[in-house]
Amino acid sequence: MGERGAATAPGWRPAYLTVAEPVRAEIEVKRSRFVCDLGPASSEEAARAVIERVRAESREARHHCTAFVLGPDAALQRSNDDGEPSGTAGMPMLEVLRGAAVTDVVAVVTRWFGGVLLGTGGLIRAYGDAVHAALESATIARYELTVILATTVSHADGPRVENALRSRAGLRVTGVDYRAEGVRIEAAVPPAGQADAGAVLAELTAGASGFAPVGEEWVRMEP
């Protein structure tokens, strides 16, 4: 995912869930077809591009109702009823996404009218159920925030320090660069692990070197 906002932003959390790849699910209610396209989106621009693609692929359908949740803190949330009675489509879809605690995700439910009116309650259930069906078939991915730390140690200490850091649980060496002034080592740790990483490096170098934060990265965690 790369860098996504500051760790000190309001509502910040060190991990989030999203859908790993686009999925499609279909339900039928009283001859009306509800097809949900659900997929990842890392920005509002990306979410709206998904919406326009789905709309272009099924222009003969009566409604293309939408909902998306964006940002590691799920701060940006939008929904649209696209001509359905107010509150019967986009908001129920959004509530399902919220309930699943997923973000960086967009849902588009395309409806082909079957000739039978569903009423307010029927529409709310149908649009929500379509998103539920897509979520049930989706692979959910977990991303965790890591802080990128950097240090420079002497050429003599470089290989030993690198090997020792690679063996530490909860710390991932992401780069080693041999330079004229010494060996630059970058490592990724959870935000809460910065102090421990610094203590380990101080012990390895007898206090001669320390870590400095140089960035942040969201990393997909393996199941």
Q: Which of 48, 49, 39, 40 is nearest to 1 (CA)?
A: 40
In the numeric block, the tokens 């760790």 are attached to 7
Side by side, the strands of the sheet bearing 32-40 are 23-29, 32-40, 105-112, 63-70, 76-80
Q: What is the pLDDT of residue 171?
A: 94
DSSP string, 66-133: EEEEESTT--EEEEE-TTSSTTSSHHHHHHHHHHTTB-SEEEEEEEE--SS--HHHHHHHHHHHHHHH
Percentage with pLDDT > 90 across the chain: 90
Confidence at 179, pLDDT banded by 50, 70, 90? very high
**What region does 2 belong to: left with phi over 0, alpha with psi -120 to 50, or beta?**
left
Task: Give pLDDT tens digits for 41-86.
Answer: 999 999 999 999 999 999 999 999 999 999 999 999 999 999 999 9
| Per-residue pLDDT tens digits for 192-215 | 999 999 999 999 999 999 999 999
Contact 153, 164 (CB under 8 A): no
Range of lowest pLDDT (4-18, 47-61, 125-139)? 4-18
Per-residue pLDDT band for 14 (boundaries 50, 70, 90) equals confident
144: which strand partners? 15, 219
Q: Give the pLDDT score at 221.
A: 85
| Nearest by Cα to 94 from 112, 74, 114 | 74
For residue 188, pLDDT beyond 90: yes
Q: Quote the CA–CA distance of 185 and 152 in Å, as a whole number.
A: 6
Residue 223's pLDDT is: 61
Name the residue among 40, 60, 154 with its Cα closest to residue 110.
60
Lowest mean pLDDT among 12-21, 31-40, 129-138: 12-21
Q: Is residue 121 pLDDT above 80, yes or no?
A: yes
pTM, rounded to two decimals: 0.81
- Residue carrying the six token digits 């420079």: 152
Residue position matching structure tokens 């780069």: 175
Given this model, what pLDDT does residue 141 score?
96
pLDDT digits (tens, 9 = 90+) for 142-165: 999 999 999 999 999 999 999 999
Domains of the chain: 15-138 (3.30.230.30), 143-221 (3.30.70.240)
The pLDDT-based confidence of 13 (bands split at 50, 70, 90) is low
The length of the chain in residues reads 223
**pLDDT range class, residue 8, cuts 50, 70, 90:** very low
Distances (CA, A) of 10 to 5, 73, 131, 148, 166: 11, 8, 28, 21, 33
Least Cα distance to 111 among 25, 36, 173, 5 occurs for 36
Q: How many angstroms separate the CA atoms of 77 and 164, rounded? A: 44
The residues with which 149 forms a beta bridge, in sequence order, are 187, 213
pLDDT reported for residue 150: 98
